[in-house]
C-alpha cells in the first residue's frame, strides 16, 4: 500500500516553503568555486533554467562570504530569485557570519563544534554531558543570527563525517548518525529555533535508508516533525549514480518521507535536476511531465514500439500529469496499461485501437493516422494544451 506523506512542519527558505503539503523541492549544489563569481553566476543560470529550486554553495572562508554578496547582487540584477544555502564545515564563526547573506545555512554536526581527529577515547557520562554543554555554547550565537536574519538551517549529518565523540560512543552506525542530529535538534528546540530541515546522507543507499527511517522514529518519539532533505551522497555518475540515487531517495519517497531532494552526481550540477524530477515523477511524489507507460514489445507486437513511442512522445510530452500507455497488442495491452488516461494499442497489422481509461473509444484506425487521432481524442476530453 502507498504510504501517505509524513506530516512535517513548514520551513521558510526565503520566499520558498518546504515541508507540510508543499511540493517536494529540488535542489543542487554549485561545483564552481564560490570566489569565482562569474562561474557561479553562469552555473546558477543553468540550474535556474532547468528548474532547480534551491542552490547550495560552499563557504570555506570569509572571502567566500564576500563573493556570496556579489553573487546575490548579480542574481537580483538578472532576475533570478532562488534561495541560496551556505554549506559550512569546521568553522562555527563562518556559519554565524553568513546568516545575513543567505536564506539557509547547512551545518554538519560531525564537525561544527566537535573534534574530528579520528581519536579513540572513552567518555564518561559526565564528560559527555560537558561536551554537549560546550556545543550549546557554540550554537547560541548561530541561533541568534538565524533568528535575526530569518534564515533556515539544515542539520546535515553525513555517515562519513561523524565526530570522534559520536564514533566512540555509537560507532560508525545509523544510530550514531541519528544521535548526532538529535543532540543538535534538542539544543535548537530548547532555544526556540525550529526553522530546521534534516538530512542523513551516506554513499551506501542501505545505510542512508536505515538512518532516515530511524531518525523519523526517534523524532516521532520526541514529538518532532522537522522536514527531511533526502540524498545519497557521492552517488557517482552515469547510470550507476542515477540508480543508486533512485533506490535511496525513491524508497523513502514511497514510504511518504522527504520534503526536498538532492541527487549528487559527479557531473555538471544541472544534470542532477532531470534525474531528481524523474525520481519524483516515478514515485508519483510530484508531477512534472506526461507519464508514459509502454510495454517492452514481444513477438505479438503489431508496430515498431520504439519508433512509435518516440513519435507519440514528441507530440505529447508537454501534457503535464496525463498518463499515456503505448502497448504493442490487444491481447495484454488493455489490461496492463494500469491507470493510464489514454491508451494507444496495436489491434492488428497496421491497425490501432485508442482507449480512454479502460474503454476502447476508437477501433482499427490505420496506424498512419493513429497519432493524429490520439491528439483529437485528448482534445475531445479537454486535456490538451498547446505546446
Angle at 87 between CA 267 and CA 208, to 5 degrees: 65
Spatial CA neighbour of 172 closest among 134, 210, 226, 136: 210
Task: Using CB under 6 A, pick the residue from 49, 140, 206, 298 that binds ligand SF4.
Answer: 298
The secondary structure of 269-292, three-state, reads CCHHHHHHHHHHHHCCCCCCCCEE
What is the nearest approach in angstroms of ligand SF4 to the Cβ of residue 308? 12
The C-alpha atoms of residue 349 and residue 277 are separated, in whole angstroms, by: 37
**Residues contacting residue 88 through CB under 8 Å, at least 6 positions apart:** 59, 94, 95, 98, 105, 106, 107, 108, 112
Compute the least distance from the CB of residue 337 to ligand SF4, in Å: 8
Q: Which stretch binds ligand SF4 (CB under 6 A): 155-163, 185-193, 241-249, 331-339?
A: 331-339
Torsion of CA 332, 336, 339, 341, to 10 degrees: -40
Of 78, 140, 206, 331, which one interacts with ligand SF4 (CB under 6 A)? Answer: 331
Per rule CB under 6 A, is residue 340 in the interface with ligand SF4? no
Question: Which 3-state string (H, E, C) describes 287-346?
Answer: CCCCEEEECCCCCCCCCCHHHHHHHHHHHHCCCCCCEEEEECCCCCHHHHCCCCCEEEEE
Number of alpha helices (DSSP H) and beta strands (DSSP E) in the chain: 12, 15
Place of cell 491528439: 375
Residue from the set 36, 58, 274, 301 that interacts with ligand SF4 by CB under 6 A: 301
| Least distance from ligand SF4 to the Cβ atom of residue 378, Å | 21
User: Hey, which residues between 129 and 148 contact ligand SF4 (CB under 6 A)?
Assistant: none
332 binds ligand SF4 (CB under 6 A): yes
Q: What is the dihedral of CA 171, 175, 179, 182, to 10 degrees?
A: 160
- Which cell goes with 210? 536505515
The distance of closest approach from Cβ of residue 327 to ligand SF4 in the complex, given in angstroms and rounded to an integer, is 4
What's the CA gap between 230 and 354, in Å, rounded? Answer: 40
d(CA 228, CA 261): 8
Q: Of the candidates 148, 300, 358, 363, which one interacts with ligand SF4 according to CB under 6 A?
A: 300
Please report how close the Cβ of residue 298 comes to ligand SF4 at its closest, in angstroms: 3
- Applying CB under 6 A, the span of 13-21, 109-117, 134-142, 330-338 interacting with ligand SF4 comes to 330-338
200 bridge partner residues: 157
Q: What x/- string results for residues 267 through 296 when contact with ligand SF4 is judged by CB under 6 A?
A: ----------------------------xx
Give least dist CB 333 to ligand SF4, A: 4
Smaller CB distance to ligand SF4: residue 181 or 345? 345
Which residue, 16 or 330, is less far from ligand SF4 as judged by CB? 330
Beta-carbon neighbour count of residue 218 at 10 Å? 16
CB atoms within 10 A of CB 110: 27
* 36 vs 332, beta carbon nearer ligand SF4: 332
Site for ligand SF4 in 310-329 (CB under 6 A): 327-329
Residue of the chain from 227, 241, 333, 343 that contacts ligand SF4 (CB under 6 A): 333
- Report the length, in residues, of the chain: 387
**Closest distance to ligand SF4 from the beta carbon of 346 (Å):** 7
Least distance in angstroms from the C-beta of 365 to ligand SF4: 17
CB-wise, 59 or 345, nearer to ligand SF4? 345
| Shortest spacing between CB 340 and ligand SF4, in angstroms | 12
Size of the site for ligand SF4 (CB under 6 A): 13
- Give the residue nearest to ligand SF4 (CB): 328
**CB 328, min distance to ligand SF4, A:** 3
Q: Which residues bind ligand SF4 (CB under 6 A)?
A: 295-298, 300-301, 327-329, 331-333, 336
Amino acid at each position: 500500500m502507498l504510504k501517505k506523506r509524513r506530516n512535517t512542519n513548514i520551513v521558510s527558505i526565503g520566499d520558498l516553503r518546504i515541508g507540510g503539503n508543499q511540493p517536494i523541492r529540488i535542489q543542487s549544489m554549485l561545483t564552481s568555486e564560490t570566489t569565482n563569481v562569474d562561474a557561479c553566476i553562469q552555473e546558477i543560470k543553468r540550474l535556474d533554467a532547468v528548474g532547480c529550486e534551491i542552490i547550495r554553495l560552499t563557504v570555506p572562508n570569509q572571502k567566500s562570504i564576500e563573493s556570496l554578496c556579489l553573487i546575490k547582487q548579480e542574481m537580483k540584477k538578472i532576475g533570478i530569485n532562488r534561495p541560496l544555502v551556505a554549506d559550512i564545515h569546521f568553522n562555527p564563526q563562518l556559519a554565524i557570519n553568513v546568516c545575513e547573506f543567505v536564506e539557509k545555512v547547512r551545518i554538519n554536526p560531525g564537525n561544527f563544534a566537535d573534534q574530528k581527529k579520528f581519536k579513540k577515547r572513552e567518555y564518561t557520562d559526565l564528560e559527555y554531558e560537558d561536551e554537549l554543554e560546550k556545543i550549546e555554547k557554540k550554537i547560541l550565537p548561530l541561533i541568534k543570527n538565524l533568528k535575526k536574519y530569518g534564515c533556515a538551517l539544515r542539520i546535515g549529518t553525513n555517515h562519513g563525517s561523524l565526530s570522534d565523540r559520536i564514533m566512540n560512543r555509537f560507532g560508525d552506525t545509523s544510530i550514531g548518525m541519528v544521535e548526532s542530529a538529535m543532540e543538535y535538534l534538542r539544543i535548537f528546540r530548547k532555544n526556540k529555533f525550529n526553522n530546521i530541515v534534516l538530512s542523513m546522507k551516506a554513499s551506501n543507499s542501505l545505510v542512508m535508508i536505515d538512518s532516515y527511517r530511524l531518525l523519523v522514529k526517534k523524532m516521532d518519539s520526541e514529538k518532532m516533525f522537522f522536514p527531511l532533505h533526502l540524498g545519497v551522497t557521492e552517488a557517482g555518475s552515469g547510470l550507476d549514480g542515477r540508480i543508486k540515487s533512485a533506490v535511496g531517495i525513491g524508497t523513502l519517497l514511497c514510504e511518504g518521507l522527504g520534503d526536498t531532494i538532492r541527487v549528487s552526481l559527479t557531473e555538471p550540477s544541472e544534470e542532477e535536476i532531470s534525474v531528481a524530477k524523474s525520481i519524483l515523477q516515478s514515485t508519483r511524489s510530484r508531477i512534472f511531465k506526461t507519464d508514459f507507460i509502454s510495454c517492452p514489445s514481444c513477438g505479438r507486437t503489431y508496430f515498431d514500439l520504439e519508433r512509435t513511442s518516440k513519435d507519440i512522445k514528441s507530440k505529447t510530452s508537454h501534457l503535464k500529469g496525463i498518463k499515456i500507455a503505448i502497448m504493442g497488442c490487444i491481447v495484454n495491452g488493455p489490461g496492463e496499461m494500469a491507470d493510464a488516461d489514454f491508451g494507444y494499442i496495436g489491434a492488428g497489422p497496421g491497425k490501432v485501437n485508442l482507449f480512454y481509461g479502460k474503454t476502447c473509444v476508437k477501433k482499427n484506425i490505420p496506424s498512419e493516422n493513429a497519432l493524429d487521432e490520439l491528439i483529437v481524442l485528448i482534445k475531445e476530453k479537454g486535456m490538451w494544451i498547446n505546446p
